[in-house]
Structure 1
Amino acid sequence: MTTITLTTKIYASKQIVFDASRNISIHMQSASKTNEKAIAGITSGLINLDETVTWRGKHFGFYLTHKSRIPVMNFYDYFVDEMEEGKFKSFRHEHIYEEENGFTTMTDKLHYETPFGIFGKLFDILFLKKHLTNFLLERNKTLKKVSEKTDLALAEQKTK
């Protein structure tokens, strides 16, 4: 099993970051390089506990689908998405949020296992782990930008 852990500091409340993280449109925006689209289940708005979304995107030159469910959600601290159908042997993405001094620390813990034995492990080492890390970094960059812009707009509204 491979684990990727990333931490991103965002100058916004954890409620804003949490909601942005489960926003289908923001995910599609962050995954535009892979032309990822929500094609079934929740295809817009915010995904919630026990709901599913099926994504279709182009990775490594192939259009692939990946169906995830949200089996755990503790507002505004933590949620998990797990693969129900897709190309991985297993796939679990933990999203953790902690707020302190106006900043939210968002931690991603992505645990996955590739199929195809030694060939899957080799593919992971050579290509997949880097691809998924870059995919998450791009997602987090978009989440940071959107969340900080939203938080600033809300702060400006309060001063009027």
Structure 2
Amino acid sequence: MYNRYAESARVNWTLNFAASDPQHKAEWMELMTPKSVGLILRSIKTDYKFVSCARYWSSWRLAEFLKHKPTQDTDHFILDVLILSEAQRRPAARCTEDIVVYDYRTAKKSPLPSFMIQKFQDTFNLQEQAKDKNSIRVRGLLDRVRELEKGSWDRPDAKEDFGSAAP
């Protein structure tokens, strides 16, 4: 089920580009068909974080991330997919999808079309900005926790209460 969720999320991810790029909407939509240039899943690897009953789509959130910034000669791309369980409030699985750009007219791999390269580069840059911003936030939280620990556990007069076996 997790692989199916990841594939559905990839299609939705691509369709979101079509919605945000009206100038190339037809080309984005055509990527899901075998008419000209399309996307083919070359491989998928799934690391299961915990086993859960994957029954309801509404209880899952998926996030896709480009692994590398594409260039003009890129003929494939890798998506990291994080599958989050809303019920468990934690990651359920992580997938790595290797996707090939395939030209059905010539029956061989093809470089990414230019309209995709620019959108993917913009997306990758936004991912990196979000990573930097959130890394700073996490470091701030860790610093605050460390200060709390210093004020309570790390005092010279602090004693750990191990409880008592006596009633």
TM-score by length of 1: 0.37
Rg comparison, structure with higher value: 2
TM-score by length of 2: 0.36
Normalized per residue, the structure richer in strand is 1
| Structure with more contact order per residue of length (Cα contacts < 8 Å, sep ≥ 6) | 1
